[in-house]
Amino acid sequence: MSDTDQTLNFELSTGPVKIRLRPDLAPGHVERITELANSGYYDGLTFHRVIDGFMAQGGCPDGTGMGGSGQNLKAEFSAAPHSRGVCSMARSQSPDSASSQFFICLDDAKFLDNQYTVWGEVIEGMEAVDALPKGEPPAEPGTIIKASIA
Protein backbone atom coordinates (compact mmCIF):
# COMPACT_ATOMS: atom_id res chain seq x y z
CA MET A 1 0.00 0.00 0.00
CA SER A 2 1.17 3.51 -0.71
CA ASP A 3 1.18 6.31 1.84
CA THR A 4 -2.04 7.66 0.32
CA ASP A 5 -3.95 4.40 0.67
CA GLN A 6 -6.62 4.43 3.33
CA THR A 7 -8.34 1.52 4.95
CA LEU A 8 -11.72 1.08 6.55
CA ASN A 9 -11.39 -1.06 9.64
CA PHE A 10 -14.39 -2.89 11.00
CA GLU A 11 -14.43 -4.56 14.38
CA LEU A 12 -17.20 -7.08 13.77
CA SER A 13 -18.86 -9.33 16.31
CA THR A 14 -17.05 -12.13 14.42
CA GLY A 15 -13.60 -10.46 14.34
CA PRO A 16 -11.59 -7.66 12.72
CA VAL A 17 -11.78 -6.80 9.00
CA LYS A 18 -9.51 -4.45 7.06
CA ILE A 19 -10.80 -3.01 3.75
CA ARG A 20 -8.60 -1.17 1.26
CA LEU A 21 -10.57 1.81 -0.01
CA ARG A 22 -10.62 2.38 -3.78
CA PRO A 23 -11.01 6.12 -4.50
CA ASP A 24 -9.53 5.40 -7.95
CA LEU A 25 -12.79 3.56 -8.76
CA ALA A 26 -15.36 5.48 -6.71
CA PRO A 27 -14.08 8.73 -5.21
CA GLY A 28 -17.52 10.00 -4.18
CA HIS A 29 -18.47 6.76 -2.48
CA VAL A 30 -15.15 6.49 -0.65
CA GLU A 31 -15.52 10.09 0.55
CA ARG A 32 -19.04 9.40 1.88
CA ILE A 33 -18.13 6.07 3.51
CA THR A 34 -15.18 7.80 5.17
CA GLU A 35 -17.51 10.54 6.50
CA LEU A 36 -19.99 7.95 7.80
CA ALA A 37 -17.28 5.83 9.46
CA ASN A 38 -15.63 8.88 11.06
CA SER A 39 -18.98 10.07 12.43
CA GLY A 40 -19.71 6.71 14.10
CA TYR A 41 -22.66 6.05 11.78
CA TYR A 42 -21.80 2.38 11.19
CA ASP A 43 -21.05 1.60 14.85
CA GLY A 44 -23.62 -0.87 16.17
CA LEU A 45 -25.30 -1.58 12.83
CA THR A 46 -25.98 -5.15 11.75
CA PHE A 47 -25.52 -7.32 8.67
CA HIS A 48 -29.22 -7.76 7.96
CA ARG A 49 -28.85 -9.91 4.83
CA VAL A 50 -26.17 -12.59 4.56
CA ILE A 51 -26.54 -15.12 1.76
CA ASP A 52 -24.08 -18.02 1.84
CA GLY A 53 -22.05 -18.16 -1.38
CA PHE A 54 -23.15 -14.64 -2.41
CA MET A 55 -22.75 -11.65 -0.09
CA ALA A 56 -23.11 -10.02 3.34
CA GLN A 57 -25.08 -6.75 3.40
CA GLY A 58 -25.03 -4.13 6.14
CA GLY A 59 -25.15 -0.40 6.74
CA CYS A 60 -28.92 -0.02 7.24
CA PRO A 61 -29.67 2.13 10.31
CA ASP A 62 -32.93 0.29 11.06
CA GLY A 63 -31.65 -3.22 10.26
CA THR A 64 -34.35 -3.96 7.67
CA GLY A 65 -32.57 -3.08 4.42
CA MET A 66 -34.94 -0.16 3.85
CA GLY A 67 -33.00 2.64 5.58
CA GLY A 68 -30.11 4.88 4.67
CA SER A 69 -28.08 7.88 5.68
CA GLY A 70 -30.40 10.39 4.02
CA GLN A 71 -27.97 11.23 1.24
CA ASN A 72 -28.00 9.38 -2.07
CA LEU A 73 -24.85 9.00 -4.15
CA LYS A 74 -24.38 9.24 -7.89
CA ALA A 75 -23.46 5.85 -9.34
CA GLU A 76 -19.76 5.27 -10.02
CA PHE A 77 -19.96 2.00 -11.91
CA SER A 78 -16.73 0.46 -13.19
CA ALA A 79 -15.47 -2.68 -14.84
CA ALA A 80 -13.91 -3.78 -11.52
CA PRO A 81 -15.07 -7.36 -10.98
CA HIS A 82 -17.32 -8.33 -8.10
CA SER A 83 -15.05 -11.09 -6.85
CA ARG A 84 -14.67 -12.60 -3.39
CA GLY A 85 -13.85 -9.87 -0.83
CA VAL A 86 -14.97 -6.96 -3.00
CA CYS A 87 -17.01 -4.26 -1.26
CA SER A 88 -19.77 -2.59 -3.24
CA MET A 89 -22.77 -0.36 -2.57
CA ALA A 90 -26.30 -1.66 -2.24
CA ARG A 91 -29.01 0.33 -4.01
CA SER A 92 -32.61 0.18 -5.16
CA GLN A 93 -33.69 0.04 -8.82
CA SER A 94 -32.36 3.56 -9.39
CA PRO A 95 -28.62 3.60 -10.16
CA ASP A 96 -28.21 6.79 -8.09
CA SER A 97 -29.92 5.49 -4.94
CA ALA A 98 -26.95 4.15 -2.94
CA SER A 99 -26.74 5.76 0.50
CA SER A 100 -25.08 3.90 3.38
CA GLN A 101 -25.81 0.24 2.71
CA PHE A 102 -23.03 -1.88 1.29
CA PHE A 103 -22.21 -5.51 0.67
CA ILE A 104 -19.11 -7.67 0.78
CA CYS A 105 -18.94 -10.48 -1.78
CA LEU A 106 -18.56 -13.90 -0.17
CA ASP A 107 -17.90 -15.42 -3.59
CA ASP A 108 -17.55 -14.22 -7.16
CA ALA A 109 -20.65 -12.34 -8.35
CA LYS A 110 -19.56 -11.09 -11.76
CA PHE A 111 -23.19 -10.68 -12.86
CA LEU A 112 -23.12 -7.49 -10.72
CA ASP A 113 -20.21 -5.96 -12.67
CA ASN A 114 -20.91 -2.52 -14.19
CA GLN A 115 -24.22 -2.33 -12.26
CA TYR A 116 -23.07 -1.62 -8.68
CA THR A 117 -20.33 0.68 -7.36
CA VAL A 118 -17.18 -1.10 -6.18
CA TRP A 119 -15.48 0.99 -3.50
CA GLY A 120 -13.10 -1.37 -1.69
CA GLU A 121 -11.73 -4.84 -1.10
CA VAL A 122 -11.10 -6.90 2.02
CA ILE A 123 -7.35 -7.26 2.54
CA GLU A 124 -7.46 -8.87 6.02
CA GLY A 125 -10.13 -10.69 8.00
CA MET A 126 -12.25 -12.32 5.32
CA GLU A 127 -12.73 -15.19 7.76
CA ALA A 128 -14.68 -12.78 10.01
CA VAL A 129 -16.97 -11.88 7.08
CA ASP A 130 -17.44 -15.58 6.26
CA ALA A 131 -18.39 -16.20 9.90
CA LEU A 132 -21.30 -13.72 9.90
CA PRO A 133 -24.61 -15.44 10.72
CA LYS A 134 -26.55 -16.29 7.55
CA GLY A 135 -30.14 -15.34 6.79
CA GLU A 136 -32.47 -12.67 5.42
CA PRO A 137 -32.38 -11.51 8.19
CA PRO A 138 -30.23 -13.79 10.35
CA ALA A 139 -31.85 -14.91 13.61
CA GLU A 140 -29.03 -13.13 15.48
CA PRO A 141 -27.33 -10.76 13.01
CA GLY A 142 -23.61 -10.04 13.09
CA THR A 143 -22.75 -6.52 14.20
CA ILE A 144 -20.30 -3.79 13.27
CA ILE A 145 -19.02 -2.96 16.73
CA LYS A 146 -16.77 -0.14 15.52
CA ALA A 147 -15.81 1.33 12.14
CA SER A 148 -12.73 3.49 11.71
CA ILE A 149 -10.57 4.91 8.95
CA ALA A 150 -6.79 4.45 9.00
Residue 5 has pLDDT above 90, yes or no: no
Residue-wise pLDDT for 23-48, tens only, equals: 999 999 999 999 999 999 999 999 99
Predicted confidence (pLDDT) per residue in 74-94, tens digit: 999 999 999 999 999 999 999
pLDDT at position 2 is: 42
Domain boundaries, the chain: 7-149
Residue range 100-120: mean pLDDT, rounded: 97
**Alpha-carbon distance 112 to 132, whole Å?**
22
Which CATH number, 2.40.100.10, 1.20.120.80, 2.30.38.10, 2.60.40.10, labels domain 7-149? 2.40.100.10
- Taking Cα atoms as reference points, which of 84, 86, 85, 83 lies closest to residue 29? 86
pLDDT band at 4 (very low <50, low <70, confident <90, very high): low
> What is the Cα–Cα distance from 26 to 92, expressed in whole angstroms?
18
Query: Which of 49, 32, 54 lies closest to 108, judged by CA?
Result: 54
Sequence-ordered list of residues with C-beta below 8 angstroms from that of 140, at least 6 positions apart, any chain: 133
